[in-house]
Structure 1
Amino acid sequence: MTSVPLAPPNPAEGDARPADVSLGVVSLRGVSFSYGTNVVLRDVNLDFAPGSITALLGANGAGKSTLIKALSGANPRYTGLISVAGEEAALSSPTVARHLGISAVHQKVADGIVPGLTVAENVLLDDLAGGLRGALRNRRRDLANARTALAVLGLHWSDRVLGQDARDLRISDAQLVTLARALRSTPRLLILDEPTSALTSAEADRLFEVLRALRADGLAIVYVSHRFGEIEALADSVVVLRDGTVQSHSDRPFAWNGILHDMLGRATELSQQRVSADRGATVVAEVDSVPLLPGAAPVSLTIRGGEVLGILGLIGAGKTELAEILGGLARPAAGTLTLGGEPYAPRRPGDAIRSGVVLVPEDRQRQAILPGWSVAHTITVPFLAEASRWGTLRTGRETARAAAVVADLDVVTESVDTPIDDLSGGNQQKVVVGRWLSASPRLAVLDEPFRGVDIAARRGIGDRLTDLARSGGAAVVLSSDVDEILEVSDRIVVLVAGVVALDGYADELDRARIVEAFLGETQPASVQTSPAPAEGITT
């Protein structure tokens, strides 16, 4: 991998600042940040050039989110120098950053949406923050402006949708609203943190077209993703952070094995597919004639102990609906469920948990964590009875359980008393996954469990799911990412428009066959084919 050195300070002048701070549209020199004694960023020097896309990579807890917050004004307590267009800037707030031409779309989608405002008002939120609402605003003009902003992303939503409360948006649509808002201001530097994590393949493709056009117009773009196929397709250069420091800065062509080594501090392979897959003998749960989507044919599915079942589907394929039915968040419109051979009809998540079924939901911000709660409280909250005596929480038991989860999934946190909000998105996800796996469930259902999680953490979670299956339990992983499913699953089911398009074991399927079914290019079938090695980075 080619390493590109950054301009060092001029030691002859005894000044920590370099002679030239205008190498990029935005430049950083000696930028550092600490939470108390915990140093999160250490002496970062970077230049973001106009007309280029820089991929920012790093394992969970590497400092990516902290760096993004400093650049976007959300973390004003950084030290060092940030310059914009050659002038030193004090990025004291997001408003100041936006005025200087820096726009950011953060990983936490919920943070970018204001409930109580309409979808159109959320698209135009920056305008509203500096102006007037209500009767003094022109609703027709606002709708027109919102439609124009969304059209950049290929979206043509009706006035009814634009007028509804934004709290009712799906996570993917909320992500698109925050993207449209950021693009309205035509920034100098656009920062995107996991922008496709909740998008369909078509929505992501449209976003890539927009980003390429913006790059051609001279915009500098910082792109954060754990999906290496996106980086390969988009980026002009890759910057790797590890433990708060810049490990490498490389241009195309990218040497991915070296990049992964810089990210993780050890050698690892980019893509893995199971070469053997276990067959479960015991039926843990059955779904019988249950429709997942209105108008779709009913689905029947057997979930066996001893195997990890991967369910692959795009947004809208019915995978989240299936997860919510299994986890007690929704009731099937028809058909039946069984668990351990007995009727299973949970009316609420608590019923499912008491039956030994746990659900890691798709949207951790809205459905899985409580802002301000500590890591320990977040892990313990579903199991308060186990950690209490006579109605009093026994902190020793709570701490022990939380410490075990932190160690088991290698959660990067200063302590179990750290607020969950202070963790990176990937480490929050590891806490949520670890919380439920610590219950040793009969059936674990995980909807998009790898969102925002680095490759090492993904494999760690996959190992825990395999352990659960090998001990007689069952695990169902639902994802829209082919590589994630290939890596963790013994058996693979592909959902298309609410019906099963493919059902087979991983060592009997080749990647091309799975992708064909995933994209809806084949008829529903159960196949048995010859195994072939996985190719490429991601789909």
Structure 2
Amino acid sequence: MPLLHIENLTHSFGATRALVGIDLKVERGEIVALMGANGAGKSTLVKILSGVLTADGGTIALKERPFAPKTPHEAAGAGIATVHQSTDIVGVPGLTVADALLLHRIAEHRTSLFVSRSGLRREAKALIDAAGFSLPLDRDFGELAAAERQLVAIARALADKADLLILDEPTASLSSEESQRLFDILRRLRAQGIAVLYISHRTADLQAIADRALVMRGGRIVASFSRPIDFSSAIQSMIGRRLDAVRPDARPVGNPVLEIRNGQLAATSVPFDLTVKQGEVVAITGPIGAGKSRLLSAIFGVGRFACGEMFLDGRPYRPRSPAEAIAAGVSMAAEDRHRSSLMPAGWPGHSLAATISLPHLTKWYRKGFLFGNRERREANRAISRFGIKASDPLASVWSLSGGNQQKAVIARWEAEPSRLLLLDEPFQGVDVGARREIVEAIRVRTDRATLIATSDPEEAYEVADRILTIDRHALLPTAADPTTNLAITGT
């Protein structure tokens, strides 16, 4: 008998049918990839299995027993551990990484209430050693990068010894080395009889780890593939059409918009020059921690260069804050949209329309009067232009899938003219179909320069006119690739 057996599972949000008769089996010791475009129903299915939502109809059996968890705690107690794409619930600023690793155990009284700091640290170190990760146990959780928070979440889930581990885009923020380490861990878990439901848009991940791939579209499972998995057919099933791997056509560019001369991100790093011209899309790729986010943050006024000069349209440019950068015509979508770009659910400003208008409030409403017409108009334009799947411009952005949330964040900066657009990991957690729509929206603009940071070379090839490599906080020249029409150069 299968470990997990789902029959005719349904769920609706009002008139929207998110799941339409899902049938699914997962065996012990099996890694099953779940593929699907944003809005296909993957997140709804995971939330039902995790006890966040309750199914409208159908049955679920776990270990041959009826399974209908009403809370995440109940689901975890039954043997299902879930690592969500957003890691905000894993820990809070002010706690150390060791605290965050053991927080759920303390809350559930699974460890002593009088544990010493040294004892807590030893127990936390045992968890990460078992997971095979390296984490700064004494650092404030709020200071962690997205990749490190993801490792904390995965280490906690692995420590719970679940029968079924659900991973939602687990490598989206991980380096190649960290991803390989995770794959080794998953293979060990598979050998121990633990099943894994692995949600990802990265075909390289699925090729490396999946025993089987299931494709969701429109709330249904529409295709199943066994190893060796035909990912071309799987992607075609996922989006309902062929997706040809088209790389950008060469196009003319204008004058320099951004110039960095002898820039140093750290006092000990090698100086570099960077020029990005009008109409040009430049991608910076490299391992996590190499300095991609730090570079974009310094350009946007969040951080500082240790040395060097910066020019915008030929004029000296050194913003002291994001507000100064925005006023100069520079905009940025940061790496972690959940923490940096979206208002919490239930707060004023959590709707799709308000998400788009947030950085433009002082410009759109100079006299302090807030009228919704402009917000709704821009939100409707974004829905049309980016293909955002939203029931209404006033719908909560948290009701949207991850890919549609990312479209909304990028649409925010399309609502006003800008000279330079900075995008940090813009395709994180975005399916291939939505990624293509975002690429087209980025490249259609020729009135500005665009600088993108991505840890995925495949994404860089798909979107960029030029690709640069960063290592140890310095840009390096990259050898030209004769198989593409991209000019891959140093500056």
TM-score normalised by the chain length of structure 2: 0.94
In the alignment, the residues of structure 2 paired with residue 350 and residue 441 of structure 1 have an alpha-carbon distance, to the nearest angstrom, of 13
CA displacement 1:98-129 (0-9 Å, x = unmatched) = 11110000011223223333211211222112
Identity of aligned residues (%): 36
* Aligned counterpart for 1:377 among listed residues 354, 375, 380: 354
In the alignment, the residues of structure 1 paired with residue 482 and residue 394 of structure 2 have an alpha-carbon distance, to the nearest angstrom, of 43
In the alignment, the residues of structure 2 paired with residue 410 and residue 380 of structure 1 have an alpha-carbon distance, to the nearest angstrom, of 18
* Aligned counterpart for 2:292 among listed residues 308, 319, 322: 319
Question: Residues 389 and 289 (structure 1 numbering): CA distance in 2 closer, same or farther, change over 3 Å?
Answer: closer
Partner of 1:446: 423
Q: Which runs of 5+ in 1 are unaligned?
A: 1-22, 515-524, 528-539
Matches within 5 A, 1:49-448: 49-131=27-109, 136-157=114-135, 161-269=136-244, 271-274=245-248, 276-372=249-345, 373-388=350-365, 390-448=367-425
Give how far 1:152 is off. 2.7
Residue aligned with 1:111, SS? coil
Give how far 1:441 is off. 1.4
* Conserved? CA contact 2:266–2:306, under 8 Å: no
Question: Residues 495 and 190 (structure 1 numbering): CA distance in 2 closer, same or farther, change over 3 Å?
Answer: same
In the alignment, the residues of structure 2 paired with residue 444 and residue 227 of structure 1 have an alpha-carbon distance, to the nearest angstrom, of 25
User: Residue type of the partner of 1:87?
Assistant: R
User: Residue type of the partner of 2:210?
Assistant: A
Give how far 1:155 is off. 2.8
Larger mean Cα displacement after TM superposition, 112-121 or 330-339: 112-121
In the alignment, the residues of structure 2 paired with residue 466 and residue 264 of structure 1 have an alpha-carbon distance, to the nearest angstrom, of 21
Give how far 1:317 is off. 1.2
Give how far 1:282 is off. 0.8
Partner of 1:34: 12
Residue aligned with 1:43, SS? strand
In the alignment, the residues of structure 1 paired with residue 208 and residue 111 of structure 2 have an alpha-carbon distance, to the nearest angstrom, of 41
Question: Residues 509 and 260 (structure 1 numbering): CA distance in 2 closer, same or farther, change over 3 Å?
Answer: closer
* Conserved? CA contact 2:7–2:24, under 8 Å: yes
TM-score normalised by the chain length of structure 1: 0.86
Give how far 1:148 is off. 1.3
Residue aligned with 1:177, SS? helix
* Conserved? CA contact 2:94–2:141, under 8 Å: yes
Question: Residues 508 and 474 (structure 1 numbering): CA distance in 2 closer, same or farther, change over 3 Å?
Answer: farther
Give how far 1:180 is off. 0.3
User: Residue type of the partner of 1:168?
Assistant: E
Q: How many residues align?
A: 487
In the alignment, the residues of structure 2 paired with residue 505 and residue 382 of structure 1 have an alpha-carbon distance, to the nearest angstrom, of 39
Give how far 1:273 is off. 3.2
Give how far 1:440 is off. 2.8
The alignment status of 1:455 with 2:432, answered yes or no, reads yes
In the alignment, the residues of structure 2 paired with residue 510 and residue 496 of structure 1 have an alpha-carbon distance, to the nearest angstrom, of 24
* Conserved? CA contact 1:490–1:506, under 8 Å: no
Q: Which runs of 5+ in 2 are unaligned?
A: none
The alignment status of 1:481 with 2:456, answered yes or no, reads yes
CA displacement 1:494-537 (0-9 Å, x = unmatched) = 111122222577768699x98xxxxxxxxxx849xxxxxxxxxx
* Conserved? CA contact 1:272–1:486, under 8 Å: no
Residue aligned with 1:430, SS? helix
User: Residue type of the partner of 1:382?
Assistant: P
Residue aligned with 2:476, SS? strand
Residue aligned with 1:112, SS? coil
